[in-house]
Amino acid sequence: MSTDFESARRKYKPGIKFLLVAEAPPREDSGRFFYFENVSTGDSLFLETMKVLYPKDYTKTKIVRQRKQEFLERFKGDGFYLIDSCDSPMEDSSPTKKRKQIQKALPSLRSKLRELATDGVKIVLISATVYEVCNDILKSEGFNIINEELIDFPGSGGQKKFREKFGNLLKKNGWVIRA
């Protein structure tokens, strides 16, 4: 994994309440990453997550991009942390190839979860592939996966479903949207 990705992620590591697990980081040459503070294109997972968590502060995408560091600090302060199931990018892969990569990365993911998901941390799996590979096996191993269903990745038309499913799941698990 890129040290840039990991140092950007660690900067915003909180006392974790909700641990979000997505597929993988983007290609290193993309200039995009959930925890990079200056991203001018893409960034749908960050943007849609902020819409769910802080709807009253989400005015325009351009403004949120300009205030990304502030939103990341708030995300951290509220106990949210995002990791990837795979350490290497997997863009342009078919769902079958993605599932195989996630399956191969499960031992590493388990180690991350043992380190990060302590003391009642609630784990949320994001994307169909992560859910399909990880949900049953990680639940059977005692990890506190709170998904009741898969949460669509918020790209390629899945934004509305992501907001609905992620928002409902958080509300059922104690998250209160603040004014």
Burial class (CB in 10 A: 0-12, 13-18, 19+), 167: middle
Q: Which of 27-31, 54-58, 96-100, 164-168 has the lowest mean pLDDT?
A: 27-31
Beta strands in 67-109 (DSSP E): 80-84
- Between CA 23 and CA 87 the distance in angstroms is 9
Tell me which residue of 4, 26, 82 sits closest to 49, measured CA to CA.
82
Asked if residue 179 has pLDDT above 90, the reply is no
Tell me which residue of 150, 159, 142 sits closest to 44, measured CA to CA.
159
pLDDT of residue 11: 84
* CATH architecture for residues 3-172: 3-Layer(aba) Sandwich (3.40)
Asked if residue 2 has pLDDT above 70, the reply is no
Percent of the chain whose pLDDT exceeds 90: 69
| Predicted structure pTM score | 0.91
pLDDT of residue 141: 96
pLDDT in tens, 96-150: 999 999 999 999 999 999 999 998 999 999 999 999 999 999 999 999 999 999 9
- Between CA 113 and CA 104 the distance in angstroms is 16
pLDDT in tens, 69-92: 999 999 999 999 999 999 999 867
Asked if residue 23 has pLDDT above 70, the reply is yes
Asked if residue 67 has pLDDT above 60, the reply is yes
Question: DSSP for 46-66?
Answer: HHHHHHHH-TTT---HHHHHH
